[in-house]
């Protein structure tokens, strides 16, 4: 069995913590581990698991690789999607990457919370047995409420080894219909988790979506392999139809079965969903960070940098980050997505970027900026190196705060230690590297007529960026 970790979501409803370049699956929302890490770690102890295949946006490749490395997981490969095409093409790429068509793929979104790991693992083992028989298995969550935010799976009365043949997949219902579904006992929430043989899935896809399979095969065949990364051909992948695995295959096949799963599952699709799974105080408040709450009930309050003090509020979500504060009634948090859309329409960077931006070499934090200046705190990991580059519109001053910097400036190379500095004039080709064994910490002051991050001409980059 090969775990397939789907990590293509952007998590816009969890803004401002989740951003386009740093979405929710890479955040530690419920424990000290990120959601990607939790997804992999909850499989520990299941026999016969092979190295996972991860599928993510190209912009997230280094975060995926680093977070798996931190928990000592070495993936078979990380497939990079140049364009989001929904779940069916992503799963198809994993099936094509499997070395044996008899391999069972365990498809898992990277952003779920599962409280009862033992129940989940038992269901996975059962799913593997059914997949071995040629079934396409999905996991149906036993509903705990008439939830209108999920699609549903209706089971048939045909029982197969503690599972059921799928009668139909249904769209997100209104409250009245959802209540009827729950009352009937015949419907489950659609979890988006699956198990099937790679070959069986491809056979069904060829039957029901041959155009998609053809485009995926072409893109995969033309992919470039760079270390653990499989870079799909963008032009060929763009020709692939976008569709979910439900629509493309599961709704049409006669091999679909559903395993009921009662394991305290939550897809953490909103702030209210995150409030559901967080520990709460005696008044129902989920608090994190420096928060002072007086006469406050049933609220989610998260602070990252500042003291957040609230008095006499109820059923609110308040989230503070270094560059944004979001406040909403708990019953309207689904509308946070509209805020993100507005930010994108206004071309504001807060839609996609945090003030602290992670790069493969480390991270930087933009602590101050004005019309013609910007100040950053820069941290470079041991052995890491920024690209060889130049800027058309800005000069830079670098001051080493901690560690050692190897600086290339034109034809000159120098080592800078703590409290030493250098100046990079506009237009000069330069490079920064950490040759030491501890993180390099620097302060960078930029000055010039334009200070955008796109004012970079790269000549050489060890991470394959253009």
Q: Which of 146, 234, 129 is nearest to 184 (CA)?
A: 146
| Tokens matching residue 86 | 């929904």
Exposed (0-12), middle (13-18) or buried (19+): which is 295, by Cβ within 10 Å?
A: exposed
User: 320 with 288: CB under 8 angstroms?
Assistant: no
What is the pLDDT averaged over residues 113-132?
A: 96
**pTM to 2 decimals?**
0.88
Averaged pLDDT of the chain = 94
Q: What percent of the chain has pLDDT over 70?
A: 100
User: 385 with 405: CB under 8 angstroms?
Assistant: no
Model confidence pLDDT, tens digit, residues 184-228: 999 999 999 999 999 999 999 999 999 999 999 999 999 999 878
The CATH classification number of 2-266 equals 3.90.550.10
Q: Which of 9, 39, 13 is nearest to 271 (CA)?
A: 13
* DSSP one-letter code for 247: I
How is the chain split into domains, by residue range?
A: 2-266, 271-336, 356-460
| Residue 403: strand, helix, or coil | coil
Q: What are the percentages of helix, strand and coil residues in the chain, rounded to 5?
A: 25, 35, 40
User: 366 with 375: CB under 8 angstroms?
Assistant: yes
For domain 356-460, the CATH architecture is Sandwich (2.60)
Q: How many helical (H) and strand (E) elements, i.e. helices and strands, does the chain have?
A: 11, 30
Using CA atoms, how far apart are residues 334 and 34, in angstroms rounded to an integer? 22
Model confidence pLDDT, tens digit, residues 265-311: 998 889 999 999 999 999 999 999 999 999 999 999 999 999 999 99
Helices 210-221 and 198-208, packing angle to 10 deg: 130
Q: Which of 445, 446, 398 is nearest to 420 (CA)?
A: 398
Question: What pLDDT does residue 59 have?
Answer: 86
Strand order across the 430-433 sheet: 412-416, 405-409, 430-433, 388-390, 457-460
Question: What pLDDT does residue 88 have?
Answer: 96
* DSSP one-letter code for 76: S
Task: Report whether pLDDT(437) > 80.
Answer: yes
């Amino acid at each position: 069995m090969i775990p397939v970790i789907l990590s293509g979501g952007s998590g816009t409803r969890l803004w401002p913590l989740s951003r386009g370049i740093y979405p929710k699956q890479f955040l530690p929302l419920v424990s000290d581990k990120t959601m990607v890490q939790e997804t992999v770690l909850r499989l520990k102890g299941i026999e016969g698991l092979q190295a996972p295949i991860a599928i993510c946006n190209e912009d997230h490749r280094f975060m995926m690789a680093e977070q798996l490395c931190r928990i000592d997981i070495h993936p078979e490969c990380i497939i990079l999607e140049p364009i989001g095409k929904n779940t069916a093409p992503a799963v198809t790429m994993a099936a094509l990457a499997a070395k044996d068509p008899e391999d069972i793929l365990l498809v898992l979104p990277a952003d779920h919370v599962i409280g009862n790991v033992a129940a989940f693992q038992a269901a996975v083992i059962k799913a593997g047995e059914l997949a071995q028989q040629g079934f396409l298995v999905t996991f149906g969550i036993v509903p705990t409420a008439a939830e209108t935010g999920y699609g549903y799976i209706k089971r048939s009365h045909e029982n197969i080894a503690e599972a059921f043949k799928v009668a139909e997949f249904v769209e997100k219902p209104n409250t009245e219909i959802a209540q009827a579904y729950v009352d009937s006992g015949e419907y489950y929430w659609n979890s988006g988790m699956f198990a099937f043989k790679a070959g069986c899935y491809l056979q069904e896809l060829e039957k029901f979506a041959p155009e998609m399979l053809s485009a995926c095969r072409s893109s995969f065949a033309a992919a470039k392999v760079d270390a653990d990364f499989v870079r799909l051909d963008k032009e060929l992948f763009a020709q692939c139809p976008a569709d979910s695995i439900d629509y493309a295959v599961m709704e049409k096949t006669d091999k679909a079965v559903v395993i009921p799963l009662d394991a305290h599952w939550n897809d953490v699709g909103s702030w209210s969903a995150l409030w559901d799974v967080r520990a709460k105080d005696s008044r129902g408040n989920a608090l994190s960070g420096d928060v002072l709450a007086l006469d406050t009930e049933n609220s989610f309050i998260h602070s990252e940098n500042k003291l957040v003090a609230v008095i006499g509020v109820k059923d609110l979500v308040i989230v503070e980050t270094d560059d944004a504060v979001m406040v909403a009634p708990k019953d309207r948090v689904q509308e946070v997505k509209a805020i993100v859309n507005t930010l994108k329409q206004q071309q504001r960077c807060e839609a996609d970027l945090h003030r602290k931006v992670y790069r493969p070499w480390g991270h930087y934090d933009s602590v101050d900026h004005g019309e013609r200046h910007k100040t950053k705190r820069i941290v470079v990991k041991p052995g890491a190196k920024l690209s060889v580059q130049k800027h058309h519109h800005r000069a830079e001053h670098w001051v080493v705060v901690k560690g050692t910097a190897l600086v290339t400036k034109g034809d000159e190379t120098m080592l800078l230690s703590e409290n030493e500095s250098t100046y990079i004039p506009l237009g000069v080709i330069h490079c920064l590297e950490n040759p030491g064994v501890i993180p390099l910490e620097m302060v960078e002051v930029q000055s010039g007529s334009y200070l955008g991050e796109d004012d970079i001409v790269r000549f050489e980059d060890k991470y394959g960026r253009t």
